[in-house]
Amino acid sequence: MPRRLFGTDGVRGVLMERLTPELAQQLGRAIGAYFGKGARILVGRDVRAGGYMLKSAVISGLLAEGVKVYDADLIPTPGLQFNVKTGPYDGGVMITASHNPPEYNGIKVIGADGIEIPHEDEEVIEEYFFKGHASKLPWRSYTYDPIIKHEAIENYIKGILDQVDVDLIKGAGFRVVIDCANSVGALVTPRLLSRLGVKYVSVNCNLDPLFPGRPPEPSPDTLKVAAAVLRETKADLLVGHDGDADRAIVGDDRGRILWGDRDGTLLSAFAAEVWSELPRRVYTGVSSSILVEDFLRPRGIEVVWTPVGSVTISRMIVKDGGAISGFEENGGYMHTPHQIVRDGPMKTALLLFMLATLKKRMSELVDELPTYYPIKEKLPATREQAQCAVEKVKEHFANFRQVTIDGVKVLGEGFWVLVRPSGTEPVVRIMLEARDPEEAERLLNEVKSIISPCLGGEQG
């Protein structure tokens, strides 16, 4: 097996265990070698512990390779990506572990188009890294310092505002609850809402690398406090970011927290009408619900199933010549006229644009979707154990329609099941839905029983 640094979305690990300043500096040199001497690279970070240290180590490695560094410092991942795409940069590096627990941090590499570099290019960087690449440049190569880019966040906010009808949103009188996860979403989304004339209540919008308010992964469980605030204040919408604000999990005006495939489906149908010149197709990971097909295909919109991972979705959209959107059940949404990466603040503005245009409450739109009851669970497993589980499920459901591009997704009449190895944790993920909650529970127990021999014991 080849040695690997990169996972599904960048290099991640527990700070000072796997992810050390020594590793970050050598990785910076490898990234610098990949982009080449004289390349212009924008660097940013979220609020995580060790972020400044890792950013400094990466910058040191980049400078050692003769790269010209621009420092945006604290900024959401999509904010860095937008600046890379629209600015005079050859690429970017973001220090973040996104939704992972607070002890984690990470490093992701952005291409000149603002999208994470393809996985095959990550292998090029890994080769430089494991060979211990180190250029030996003349001392005159090291006479410049990083350039601070104070305007990066303002550039990003302006780019979002250009995509929506600001006056229409201002006239709607919206009230929003925003949960910033104690991280860099707090630097953008409250300011964005103010510029849109939206009254808001902020929750967990102070910066704190310990994430004291809630875990950095937004979900129906972690957003319970924010949902209670929404009900108390009778707000129109709840938005909860992850640690680097490239995702947004949404709650409707009744306080129901939605998985991202629900609002992603609604936004895609809306965007197909407003941006009618776009190819009538959407891209979504196999972890999304089959309600995406149920709702969009009758509207003449093709649904393309993809492996899990935003980088894969982004690169597939580019390769295939565009789409209305790409989205994931974890709250990531790509508004392609803006940028083909998931973007939590852009999604927030687009939701308000949709509500103001359609003159409907979020709960009304949600109730138009087919009803499925979701269950998500993960069980400890090595990669080999998880792959064994996938094969067991394939065999057991051999007579059903299957999608096997990432694990196995079984689609039946009124239900679906996905079993796949995680790309970021040593677990096997189980996701399923049925039209009846009791049937969903029965299906979960059935799947656990099927895969139990692979995991070394009883899982039911």
Q: Exactly one of 98, 219, 287, 325 is catalytic; name it.
A: 98
C-alpha–C-alpha distance, residues 331 and 239, integer Å: 10
**Quick one: which of 437, 206, 216, 448 has its CA closest to 330?**
216
**Quick one: which of 264, 265, 215 has its CA closest to 240?**
215
Helix (H, G, I), strand (E, B) or coil at 146: coil
Residue 202 a catalytic site member: no
Name the CA dihedral angle for 91, 88, 59, 333, rounded to a multiple of 10 degrees: -50
C-alpha–C-alpha distance, residues 423 and 387, integer Å: 12
Query: Crossing angle for the helix pair 344-358 and 260-274, nearest 10 degrees?
Result: 60
Q: What share of the chain is helix, strand, coil (3-state, %, to 5)?
A: 40, 25, 40
Q: DSSP E strands: which ranges in 310-407?
A: 325-327, 333-335, 373-380, 401-403
361-366 contact pairs (CB < 8 A, 24+): 361/236, 361/252, 361/253, 362/236, 362/237, 362/250, 362/252, 362/253, 363/252, 363/253, 363/254, 363/256, 365/266, 366/252, 366/256, 366/258, 366/262, 366/263, 366/266
For residue 414, give the H/E element and its range: none
Whether the CB-CB separation of 421 and 386 falls below 8 Å is answered with yes
Helix (H, G, I), strand (E, B) or coil at 323: coil
Q: Which residues are catalytic?
A: 98
